[in-house]
Structure 1
């Protein structure tokens, strides 16, 4: 199953907290909790929960429904980013990879889907993505 970006972000926060507690990390170098505040993580998970539910019900042969699901998740993530300004380059790549993996795990051939619509595989979210 595709690992959510929020899972690795939380793991990074926990690792950093352990290093701080052990004295192996200078407090001035700690940044994970600031990069990934609880509100950003929770809002992102809510959006991904909805996406996961929708993807589980998709017929992989229905391009229109697949693109509609991608549009909804991207627009919702745009709204999260507008509020929290939390998605930088690494986060963007992780979110796009998660969307791709979640679709693939539910039988969507993302490369074929995007090719049928004149897109490269990694352009799946570009039409709607602001982050």
Structure 2
């Protein structure tokens, strides 16, 4: 199963906290908590919960319906970013989310990027 980017981000936060506690990282050098505050992480997870809930019904869906689901998740993620002054999802995070969306679709039998000759990151361009 595709791993949510938020899981990876939270893992990085926990690793830094453990390194600080162990004395192998000085707090001034820790960046994960600043990059990934809890409120935008929770909001991103809520968007991904909705997206994942829609995946099961897509195995027989037409491309137009699948693209509509992708559009909704992208617009919802954009809204999360806007609600956090444009600092919740930078380029790297957006690429991880694109990868997650495509992997999740593929795992549910929807090879949208392959059918349309799109790169994984082009899936969300429209």
- Structure 1 and Structure 2 fold alike (TM over 0.5): yes
Match of 2:108 among 97, 106, 112: 106
Q: How many residues align?
A: 124
Q: Displacement of 1:7 after TM fit?
A: 0.1
Q: In the alignment, which residue of structure 2 is the partner of 1:8?
A: 8
State the Cα deviation string for residues 5-38 of structure 1 (Å, max 9, x = none): 0000000000000000011001110111111111
Structure 2 gap segments, 5+ residues each? none
Distance 1:60 1:77 in 2: 25
Cα gap change, 1:91/1:31 in structure 2, threshold over 3 Å: closer, same or farther?
Answer: same
State the Cα deviation string for residues 36-57 of structure 1 (Å, max 9, x = none): 1110110000000000010111
Q: Displacement of 1:93 after TM fit?
A: 1.0
The answer to whether the 8 A contact 1:111-1:120 is kept is: yes
Distance 2:93 2:99 in 1: 10
SS of residue in 1 equivalent to 2:58: coil
Distance 1:111 1:79 in 2: 24
The answer to whether the 8 A contact 1:13-1:33 is kept is: yes
Runs of 4+ in 1 over 2 A off after TM superposition: 110-115, 119-122
Moved more, 1-10 or 106-115: 106-115
Q: In the alignment, which residue of structure 2 is the partner of 1:125?
A: 124
Cα gap change, 1:29/1:121 in structure 2, threshold over 3 Å: closer, same or farther?
Answer: closer
Q: In the alignment, which residue of structure 2 is the partner of 1:50?
A: 50
State the Cα deviation string for residues 62-93 of structure 1 (Å, max 9, x = none): 10110000000000000001112211122111
